[in-house]
Amino acid sequence: MAIQYDASRRLFHLQTDDTSYAIQIAHGGYLAHVYWGARVRGLKLDKLLEYKTRASFSPTTIKDIPELSLDTLPQEYPGYGTSDFRHPAYQVKFADGSTASELVYDSHRIVPGKPKLPGLPATYVERDDEAETLEITMKDPASGLAVVLAYTVFEKWNAIARSARLINNGSTAIEVQRALSMSVDFAHDRYDLLQLSGAWARERYVHRRPLVPGLQAVESRRGSSSHVQNPFVALLERGADEDHGDVYGVSLVYSGSFTAGVEVDQFHTSRLFIGINPFDFGWRLEPGESFQTPEAVLVFSAEGLGGMSRKYHDLYRSRLCRGTFRDKTRPILVNNWEATYFNFDADKIEAIARAGKELGIELFVLDDGWFGKRDSDNSSLGDWFVDRRKLPNGLEDLVQRVRNLDMQFGLWFEPEMVSPDSELYRAHPDWCLHIEGRRRTEARQQLILDLSREDVQDYIVKTISGILSSAPITYVKWDMNRNMTEIGSAKLPPERQRETAHRYMLGLYSVLERITSAFPHVLFESCSGGGGRFDPGMLYYMPQTWTSDNTDAISRLKIQYGTSIVYPVSAMGAHVSAVPNHQVGRVTPLETRGHVALSGNFGYELDLTKFTEEEKEIVKAQIALYKEIRHLVQFGDFYRLLSPFEGNAAAWMFVAKDKREAFAVYVQILQEPYAPLDRFRLKGLDPNLDYELDRDGLVYGGDELMNAGMPVPQFHGDFRSRVYRLRAK
């Protein structure tokens, strides 16, 4: 039983294989957070909930119990305005204009499995015995507000999924102004906050800072999870590192604007939270209506960041991602974007595909520029019909030409957008997000379709489905290349305009559900100018994401390392591109470009017809190698060995679940003169097994490789790399 309720202590104890999380119904019915950390057997945890009288600046919440103040009580879902001055998890505006409220316990139930979150992406179970769910109903005594807090305990995956549902049981409408997915209070502040931040072409860099008093948070106000911040933060106990120490991760299954952070209060307690960004958000609830928050996934690891990452990887790979491709190895692809940009015809495409086939590539992807009159990025989004100037015999003919090579065919779309210069926009100028009387700000000469509208959703489903049904297409790249401005909908009344951004996400999720379930044989990869929407929400519909528009192997060291903090390698697209690299101008060896890209969902994105004979041999060998190891890369355990954020090298490895096979990559960034003779240690092997190393054919103990380590390779030149294959004897 993952969830136990001790009625005498009014204590809930949630247990996974290695984690405990405890909640107590405190005096007055307030829901107190008691513990989150390594699994404990006993349930005497209520001793941990201490009260202490503070000065009048932490008010007495219950008259007879002067030592109980909501301002000092660790809470599960704190409100504001009734004596807790800290960062609230929710706030509601009532008909009288007031916004103060508080929640007290009403009832609870424990159910096997995991109820679905209507309209939202979420982790799931395949069988009811994979998880157990606790739902605690809380009520605000002075209003009709009720909140159901849900906790799903994935015992074997060592994760807890939390969400909240706000219900208006009153007789007048209320406005939800803030509804976070979770909040947890820690007893002290001896932690560091870790976040994944960046920009276009340098997504998800790892940043770590010690907590200080006050609010420290990251957020997106862009209408998407964004390149700039990722919907995830972790608290690391001081001194915790990649392999040791307590780490607490919270990850939001959502693709829109979010907030995530921690507030350290006057008593040095730390309140960790994540959820939809309350900034510019509102949601009107008529009597009887409810609002469901997205879900937050909580992971504790006593084995440092690496342990936390592997838990997220396992859960997200198998109980967030869905569909035919969830457990299937992914094809090696060639994409024509950096090879041709908008300038191609059917013969050019067939030539690239043919060259790919000869090298062993399995899938050709036709990127932007095949529809409308799209010769540059200034027109045609929304006009999803083939451009006969470039493809005179139509899409079906091109798909057939590629399939005749015995290759699969994939296609790029940007379905959420409309170009002002398009037939769609001329026909439906009110179909984009906009505010009447204001400029419609363009980014990349495009506007965003208003996906909160059902007619727009239907248009997208119909046009994309039409194309996918017209030819044997087995892969889709779903792109999205700007952020929201003038966030308003022509369909919503004034009092609901602040719902637009979230309604957009719900509309997008509905479109994705309809399209992906209608085409189960299609592998979908999401993209937003690279990794601008690399989040768990998108992974629910599409099991992989284009990690970054930056294809430079050395830039990718940091991007892929940071992404791996939360996301499984099977979710990351990684391609070999031309040199000098189109984003940063760097020249790196083809071997290194290959080694970095084959550490993800492998592909090429350059004109393959231009390879020399020597390059072809290198590429053939890379592709052959990937075919042998891709099950390890995509489904093995991932270990980060050396961080590109900390030194002049990066290294990582993949280990089979049964530990009988492993694959490691070492990349040197810059050549040091007179370099020391250093070593690096492998991880995740079985210390009692002997492994044969392919490089020298010698056999080494797993214990030796993990403790004594291996000599750092001696290179001559920058940006060099080496790979190691290990097989148990």
Angle subtended by helix axes 590-597 and 613-635, to nearest 10 = 20
Closer of 549 and 637 to ligand DGJ (Cβ): 549
Smallest separation (angstroms) from ligand DGJ to the CB of 529: 5
503-562 residues in contact with ligand DGJ (CB under 6 A) are: 527, 529-530, 546, 549
Closer of 481 and 544 to ligand DGJ (Cβ): 481
Smallest separation (angstroms) from ligand DGJ to the CB of 541: 18
586-645 residues in contact with ligand DGJ (CB under 6 A) are: none
CB 410 within 8 A of CB 333: yes
Closer of 304 and 530 to ligand DGJ (Cβ): 530
Q: What is the DSSP letter of 555?
A: H
Q: Which helix (H) or strand (E) holds 402?
A: helix 394-404
Smallest separation (angstroms) from ligand DGJ to the CB of 699: 43
CB 217 within 8 A of CB 262: yes
* Torsion angle (degrees, nearest 10) of CA 52, 54, 58, 64: 60
Closer of 522 and 650 to ligand DGJ (Cβ): 522
Residue tagged active-site, from 314, 387, 479, 637: 479
Smallest separation (angstroms) from ligand DGJ to the CB of 593: 16
Place of tokens 């409408």: 173
Closer of 121 and 410 to ligand DGJ (Cβ): 410
Tell me the number of residues near ligand DGJ by CB under 6 A: 11
Smallest separation (angstroms) from ligand DGJ to the CB of 316: 22
Contact with ligand DGJ (CB under 6 A) among 84, 295, 479, 535 = 479
Name, in order, each residue with C-beta under 8 angstroms of 642's C-beta and a sequence gap of 6 or more.
649, 650, 651, 652, 666, 680
Q: How far apart are CA 538 and CA 100, in angstroms?
A: 35
The string of DSSP letters for 513-541 reads HHHHHH-TTSEEEE-BTTBTT-SHHHHHH
Q: What is the DSSP letter of 327?
A: T
Site string (384-403) toward ligand DGJ, x via CB under 6 A: --------------------
Residue nearest to ligand DGJ (CB): 368
Helix (H, G, I), strand (E, B) or coil at 609: helix
Question: Does position 577 bind ligand DGJ by CB under 6 A?
Answer: no
Q: How far apart are CA 639 and CA 690, in angstroms?
A: 19
Q: How far apart are CA 35 and CA 26, in angstroms?
A: 14
Residue tagged active-site, from 367, 549, 552, 637: 549
Smallest separation (angstroms) from ligand DGJ to the CB of 659: 36
Contact with ligand DGJ (CB under 6 A) among 254, 412, 413, 604 = 412
Smallest separation (angstroms) from ligand DGJ to the CB of 536: 19
For residue 395, what are the CA distances in angstroms to 90, 377, 457, 465, 554?
Answer: 50, 20, 24, 14, 36
Closer of 182 and 527 to ligand DGJ (Cβ): 527
Closer of 121 and 530 to ligand DGJ (Cβ): 530
CB 659 within 8 A of CB 689: yes
For residue 570, what are the CA distances in angstroms to 382, 542, 564, 599, 630?
Answer: 30, 11, 10, 9, 9
The string of DSSP letters for 254-271 reads --S-EEEEEEE-TTS-EE
Closer of 413 and 509 to ligand DGJ (Cβ): 413
Q: How far apart are CA 365 and CA 411, in angstroms?
A: 5
Site string (299-338) toward ligand DGJ, x via CB under 6 A: --------------------------------------x-
Q: Residue 641 class from Cβ within 10 Å (0-12 exposed, 13-18 middle, 19+ buried)? A: buried
Q: How many CB atoms lie under 10 A from the CB of residue 495? A: 11
Smallest separation (angstroms) from ligand DGJ to the CB of 667: 23
Smallest separation (angstroms) from ligand DGJ to the CB of 429: 23
For residue 460, what are the CA distances in angstroms to 162, 385, 387?
Answer: 32, 13, 18
Smallest separation (angstroms) from ligand DGJ to the CB of 606: 13
Q: How far apart are CA 366 and CA 354, in angstroms?
A: 14
37-66 residues in contact with ligand DGJ (CB under 6 A) are: none
Q: How far apart are CA 3 and CA 16, in angstroms?
A: 9
Pairing of the two strands 333-335 and 363-366: parallel
Contact with ligand DGJ (CB under 6 A) among 481, 516, 643, 668 = 481
Which residues make beta-bridge pairs with 217? Answer: 261
CB 379 within 8 A of CB 421: yes
479 is catalytic: yes
N- to C-terminal Cα separation, the chain = 39
CB 534 within 8 A of CB 563: yes
Smallest separation (angstroms) from ligand DGJ to the CB of 573: 9
Site string (343-382) toward ligand DGJ, x via CB under 6 A: ------------------------xx--------------
As annotated, the active-site residues are 479, 549
Residues near ligand DGJ (CB under 6 A) are: 337, 367-368, 412, 479, 481, 527, 529-530, 546, 549
